[in-house]
Amino acid sequence: MADKEFRSGFICFVGRPNTGKSTLTNAMVGSKIAITSSRPQTTRHTIRGIVHRDHAQLILVDTPGLHRPRTLLGQRLNDLVRDTYSEVDVIALCIPADEKIGPGDRWIVEQIKQMAPKTTVLGVVTKIDKVSRDQVAHQLMAVSQLLGPEAEVVPVSAVKGEQVEVLVDVIASKMPEGPAFYPDGEITDEPEETLMAELIREAALEGVRDELPHSLAVVIEEIQPYEANEDMLEVHALLYVERPSQKAIIIGKNGSRLKEVGTNARKQIEHILGTRIYLNLHVKVAKDWQRDPKQLGKLGF
């Protein structure tokens, strides 16, 4: 068989919250780099996962979900999405096999058509392990109708690893021919501080009531060698919330919840860095930071 031309390019997964975008990113990259959560708006940064295959390199750009903005932060996140849409080679719309297509999906398709009329769009039916084959077939037809006849639609289960490689190949076939952008073995170009902050944020949001997601920002203050053990790193992180009541939720009774957050985040960070860390977490109230341009800037938005 003749060698296939090497292809490389950028792709972003879009879709309503909890449609399996981050899980799919992690499955394709083969490592946990995008935070996965059932809460809307948990992804704040354009985390790029890099998929290395013999015939292609795909750079996955993970955007915050598009939504109708209610705050200055929301507006800034939407602007980020707009910029991303127009700069990628492929946009893949994720729709779960177990949910009917709704107005939210149609709205996203409209936005894509307006913002990136020339970009190749692909349909991905996620979570196919949750439904029967008939239901999968039905959803494939529905997504095909939503996107139009020229768009390919691929069914996958990221959790079970079904069809993930098929999706990789389909995306690769839509990419321009060209060399790899990143050296082999690199899985993300995000600074380690960003990944750490995202993982701490994910651990803090786990199992918390709905009032928190938008109101939580994490900033890594410093990273230094740990005095008590030079083979370890000491990481200081600040968790910012908007109200004292939210601070109480994160800390929990006698600090029990914050301790649990620290333990969960530490395991994930150690896995990514490949080194043991001592994680020091503090919670601060920054009143209404999402609406204050000065504070938004300070927190990295």
Q: Is 65 labeled as ligand-binding?
A: yes
Q: Which residues contact 100 (CB under 8 A, 6 or more apart)?
A: none
Q: Is 62 labeled as ligand-binding?
A: yes
Q: Is 275 labeled as ligand-binding?
A: no
Integer-rounded Cα radius of gyration of the chain: 20
The gap from C-alpha 281 to its chain's centroid, in whole angstroms, comes to 23
CB–CB of 118/74 below 8 Å?
no
CA distances from 237 to 26, 198, 200 (A): 24, 11, 9
Beta bridge partners of 3: none
Q: Is 280 labeled as ligand-binding?
A: no
Q: Is 129 labeled as ligand-binding?
A: yes
Q: Is 178 labeled as ligand-binding?
A: no
Structure tokens at 130: 């949750």
Helices 192-205, 256-273: crossing angle, 10 deg rounding: 140
Torsion sign over Cα 276, 282, 288, 293: negative
Q: Is 126 labeled as ligand-binding?
A: yes
CB–CB of 193/219 below 8 Å?
no
DSSP 8-class letter at 157:
B
Structure tokens at 141: 């037809």
Q: Is 130 labeled as ligand-binding?
A: no
CA distances from 246 to 69, 206, 242, 295 (A): 22, 14, 7, 18
Q: Is 123 labeled as ligand-binding?
A: no
Q: Is 66 labeled as ligand-binding?
A: yes
Q: Is 173 labeled as ligand-binding?
A: no
Structure tokens at 161: 């690893």
Structure tokens at 122: 């692909």
Q: Is 169 labeled as ligand-binding?
A: no
Q: Is 84 labeled as ligand-binding?
A: no
Q: Is 17 labeled as ligand-binding?
A: yes
Q: Is 251 labeled as ligand-binding?
A: no
Q: What are the binding residues?
A: 15-22, 62-66, 126-129
Binding residues for GTP: 15-22, 62-66, 126-129
